[in-house]
């Protein structure tokens, strides 16, 4: 079994937990009950309660839904922008190519964290800020790979013949270019997804972005860190969820066989 399939199965388990836990436990992820503060996992609460008596299972599932949802939306946006601009630049060439490359280089020159922080000011305490800020910065790598791959394929005899026969750019891209481009971008898509998950958790850990009581993996780590002696199991849960998700995405991006 390949590492990619192992990663896919792990990620599927994470997604099933994130989406399916509310069907098993209907606890409100922001509802507090101080009588249950730092209660250990039990048959009543499979993941226990945090320092404010909130269900850890419900909060963990909600935090994963938030991170995975933003990552999926960001990936779709960056993939569309990167592939479209990469294909346009390589197909058009000339001043169009140079202009788009210059724009991409300008985006790379800007600190990604600064862009996310600016988006956070425009959309305070909104997941939309993560999507906007990360989408603006992460499309460049996809653009560069798309441009380089298509430029290498656009002079192929099959593509030249299709152009001479009058087939349009969309048909040529779908028939001749995308089959060559998709394997190259697969790993980049997985790494982009993991970068978003890791970025959201890192920003939450330094208290930037989503604010309490919204469940978010990095923010949960910060909130539970002072209680690591009394309830280490509580702190380990968001840490383990983040690591398992990143591990799955790293395996999906890999090429080696197990």
Cβ distance 181 to 146 under 8 Å? Answer: yes
* 3-class secondary structure, 2: strand
Looking at residue 27, its pLDDT comes to: 86
Question: Hey, what domains does the chain have and what are their CATH numbers?
Answer: 3-20+47-253 (1.10.3720.10)
Looking at residue 257, its pLDDT comes to: 42
What is the Cα–Cα distance from 221 to 201, expressed in whole angstroms?
A: 9
The number of C-alpha atoms within 13 Å of 77 and in the hemisphere containing its C-beta is 17
Looking at residue 246, its pLDDT comes to: 93
- Summarised one tens digit per residue, pLDDT across range 57-111 is 999 999 999 999 999 999 999 999 999 999 999 888 889 999 999 999 888 887 7
- Summarised one tens digit per residue, pLDDT across range 170-214 is 888 888 888 888 888 888 898 889 888 988 888 877 777 677 788
What is the Cα–Cα distance from 257 to 78, expressed in whole angstroms?
A: 28
């Amino acid at each position: 079994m390949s590492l990619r399939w192992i990663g896919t199965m792990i990620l599927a388990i994470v997604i099933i937990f994130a989406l399916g836990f509310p069907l098993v436990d209907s606890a409100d992820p922001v509802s507090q009950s101080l009588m249950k503060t730092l209660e250990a996992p039990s048959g009543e609460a499979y993941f226990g309660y945090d320092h404010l008596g909130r269900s850890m299972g419900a909060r963990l599932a909600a935090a994963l839904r938030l991170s995975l949802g933003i990552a999926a939306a960001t990936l779709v946006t960056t993939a569309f922008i990167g592939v479209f601009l990469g294909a346009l630049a390589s197909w058009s060439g000339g001043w169009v190519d140079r202009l788009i490359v210059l724009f991409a280089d300008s985006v790379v020159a800007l600190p990604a964290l600064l862009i996310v922080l600016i988006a956070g000011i425009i959309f305070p305490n909104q997941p939309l800020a993560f999507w906007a800020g990360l989408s603006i910065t992460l499309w460049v790598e996809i653009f560069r790979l798309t441009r380089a791959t298509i430029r290498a394929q656009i002079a192929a005899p099959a593509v030249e013949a299709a152009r001479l026969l009058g087939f349009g750019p969309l048909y040529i891209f779908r028939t001749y270019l995308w089959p060559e481009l998709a394997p190259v971008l697969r790993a980049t898509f997985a790494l982009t997804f993991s970068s978003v998950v890791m970025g959201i958790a890192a920003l939450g850990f330094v208290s930037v972005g989503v604010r309490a009581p919204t469940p978010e993996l990095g923010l949960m780590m910060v909130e539970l860190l002072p209680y690591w002696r009394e309830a280490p199991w509580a702190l380990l849960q968001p840490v383990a969820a983040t690591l398992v998700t990143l591990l799955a995405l790293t395996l999906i991006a890999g090429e080696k066989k197990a």
